[in-house]
A and B are shown apart, each in its own frame.
Chain A
Amino acid sequence: MEMKTKVHAENGKQEILITREFDLPLELLFKAYVEPEIVEQWMGTKVLKLENKKHGGYQFETTDPMGNKHGFSGAIHEFTPNKRITRTFEMENANFGAQLEFLEFEKLTDDTSKLVMHVVYRSVEIRDQILQMPFVQGINMAHSKLESVVGKLKA
């Protein structure tokens, strides 16, 4: 089966490419990045600020299952409707610093569209760490699941 979302990460480079084709007209895909209520739904975050314009900024806040709040924010450098968003992105309580994101929106047919996300990190090391995050979290989750199973056995 062809995978709809592709991640291209070459070793030794401080960038990645995420591509995805959508069964959505270009305008609807772009709208999902623009309307705060829609962003909140698919990103699973609260939108505190979203200024869709050059020199604008955005600020998101998520609450994890433990109730801790995490901030994400950035500045918007280019905003061309149905075409391109260039912005920075930063996890506020992490040591990764800012990353630069080039989002290219493209019409494929009247009903399909494509998004290419080109992300540039400060260093190769930071990129590799961020790439590994879901991998490490997966391991941690498997680990805590195992612990809870073992814990029940003991009880």
Chain B
Amino acid sequence: MNLRRDVFQAIADPTRRAILVLVASQSMTAGAIASNFDTARPTVSKHLQILTECELLRQEQNGREVHYHLNPVKMKEIADFIEPFRKFWDDRFNKLEAIMKQYKTNK
């Protein structure tokens, strides 16, 4: 399997996560995205390529410009993957909190 196409590999990088956050609010051209970073333009292009390859971003031709969109379906896939684990701990800790609040008032 091509590691670069791995979604989790893709979001492990802080610059790529920042790109996703940027594009989440509005679709943008590569140039507009790059202007938000101090990183060299080709580096940003490389990040965009990786994000596109693993389908977190989608390209759309807009006249002569290419806009990058967030792919919400793929994003949800990632969020859902870890969410049950988080929920498991959240439920447990909520229980702990409730029990100890009770314990405090009983003292």
- Please report A residues at the B interface, Cβ cutoff 8 Å: 3-7, 9-12, 18, 20, 22-24, 28-29, 31-32, 38, 41-44, 115, 131-135, 137-138
Contact = CB atoms under 8 A, between A and B. Distances in A.
A24 B101 contact: yes
A11 B86 contact: no
What bracket does the count of chain B residues touching chain A fall in? Answer: 20 to 34
Contact of A135 (B85, B96, B101): B85
Contacts, number: 78
A28 B93 contact: no
Interface of B: 6, 8-9, 11-12, 80-90, 92-97, 99-101, 103-104
A12 B84 CA distance: 20
A10 to B, nearest CB: 5
A11 B9 contact: yes
Nearest to B83: A135
Contact of A137 (B8, B84, B93): B84
A85 to B, nearest CB: 14
A7 B99 contact: no
Contacts of B99: 32, 38, 41-42
B12 A10 contact: yes
